[in-house]
Structure 1
Amino acid sequence: MDCGSYKLYHVHGFDSRQMLEDYFSDTPDMIFAEDTLIRPIENLTKTFALGQIKGDVLIDLSVGPMVHHLYAACEFFKHIIVLKVSDRCILELKRWLDTRTRAFNWGHAIKLHAEIEGKSDQFKEGTSDKEGKVRSAVQHVVTCDLEKENMTDPIVLPPADCIISCWLLDNISKDQDDYIRYLRKISRLLKPGGHLLLYGCLHLTFYTVGKEKFKAFSYDEDFARKALVGEGFVIDSCKVKKSTAESDLTDYDLVIFIAAHKEK
């Protein structure tokens, strides 16, 4: 398959359940755990634990139907609004939210949260209720069109105190201009002074879900920093770590986590 025939996440969509199995499961041969589970959970948990990021509304704009990144946030926000570009992602997410049969089991992510928070005893005793808290906090799952001026039209969202975006900009942007354009749209959903938490992969050109290959936007730390500053953000923290995964499914080599706030 040549690069020109790669699919695009927000145009073609993918098998949402297969994505979870390929990149977020707890199977013994799942080599992405460090990058897709442990590091996002660790970074978000430590960031929220500082106590500076909290409020009424958190908006999640992330790729796929994952929920593990929201466990750290549910203690600090009254309402979580999840935006998705794919109906398949929404169906998969709602299967978990409604505790339906065949919902993806995120028990391994709950265990990781407990370990990172130093509450492994609660997990062992079954007293942790992270999943219930997330389900209560996620009050709206909304389809969004990234090309519309108001991406949730006709719904008008309340300004967010915080936005989490994991891998979305990597997967929807064709080039630097696209990345900045979408970043600007995301910024409009945020209150002045609100926080943006970005997690992504650097030097990523493609990823595979099942037998389908998808194109991704390749960028580096310097570009990410300049893009945020150019759109009126102050970077509070930036962490870049080398990937531990080697796989034919994708080709990134670094993961990045940025915590920033929007200038008032």
Structure 2
Amino acid sequence: MDILQNIQGPNIPGSRQAATQLKIQVAATSRSFKKDHVKGKSLIEIGAGPSIHHILPACVNFEEIYLTDSLQENLQEIEKWLTDSSEAFDWSPYLKYVCHLQSTGRYIVRSKAEKLRRNVSLMKCDVTKTNPLQPKSLTLMNCVLAVACLTSACKTTRDFKTAVKNIVSLINPGGHLVLSDYCGVSYYLIGEAKFPRMSLDGNIVKEAVAESGCEIAEFKMFTNFQIPEGIFDCKNLFCLLARKL
């Protein structure tokens, strides 16, 4: 539940900025899902953490959604929301925000939540494995989404390129990769714990995606959003949309 610890409420230092950071992620990836061709039967998110906010812009475009993470406790946190547990984190402000981005009415918030609860399944994943879902498997996906997870899972450029190739293996030819992460970051603070992250640049990202067998359709860099260095030492976020050849 690490990420949730930074956004639980106004009395927690940095919570407002961390929530802003999550909304920036959502706004960045929502651009890709506004494209009419980025849709289909199935989408899988790699490294969802304990959260659902990354898939909110995509849920109307896909019938089946799989959320994955390497930690069982993160999946258990999502399960609380899926089962409408009283202990679940309240994602309704993010649902409202996505409805605002998509120019839909507030009444859509409830129906979007209901659809997610019907259509989402949970699985473990490990991006270092050739089949990240090992020992399980799925039919190839129409879309793979990975947001702010590979810089946590990887330490070197080689690790990153291998991870990208592994997650792209889950995509059906002609399907899409939506990849978003931070450039130039080295750490992320949760409470007093400091978590290292791999420092990326745009060229490494583009090389990795091309070498994985995808054609880049769009690469957008978002800069200068205000996250205090007491939480995070990054000011740049990229979002990439690619099609698997």
Fold-level similarity (TM above 0.5): yes
- For 2:112 and 2:86, locate their aligned partners in 1 and report how far apart those are by CA, in whole Å: 19
CA contact (8 A) 1:35 1:255 kept: no
Note the alpha carbon deviations across 1:37-75, whole angstroms, 9 max, x for none. Answer: 1x3322333322221111111011134111012121111
AA paired with 1:257? C
Pick aligned residue for 2:17 from 21, 31, 40: 31
- For 1:82 and 1:173, locate their aligned partners in 2 and report how far apart those are by CA, in whole Å: 20
1:174 Cα deviation from its structure 2 partner: 0.5
CA contact (8 A) 2:47 2:125 kept: no
Aligned twin of 1:6: none
1:85 Cα deviation from its structure 2 partner: 0.2
Kindly tell me: are residues 146 and 44 of structure 1, through their superposed partners in 2, closer, same or farther at Cα, counting changes over 3 Å? closer
With normalisation by structure 2, the TM-score equals 0.91
Q: CA RMSD in A?
A: 1.9
Query: Which one has more relative contact order, counting CA pairs under 8 Å at least 6 apart?
Result: 1
Gapped regions of structure 1 (runs ≥ 5)? 1-15
1:104-253 matches, within 5 Å, as 104-119=89-104, 122-123=105-106, 128-138=110-120, 140-242=121-223, 243-253=225-235
CA contact (8 A) 2:46 2:125 kept: no
CA contact (8 A) 1:32 1:244 kept: no
Aligned twin of 2:242: 260
AA paired with 1:77? F
Deviating beyond 6 angstroms after TM superposition, the runs of 4 or more aligned structure 1 residues are: none
AA paired with 1:251? D
1:252 Cα deviation from its structure 2 partner: 1.2
AA paired with 1:170? T
With normalisation by structure 1, the TM-score equals 0.85
Q: SS at 1:164's partner residue?
A: strand
Kindly tell me: are residues 56 and 126 of structure 1, through their superposed partners in 2, closer, same or farther at Cα, counting changes over 3 Å? closer
Kindly tell me: are residues 84 and 127 of structure 1, through their superposed partners in 2, closer, same or farther at Cα, counting changes over 3 Å? closer
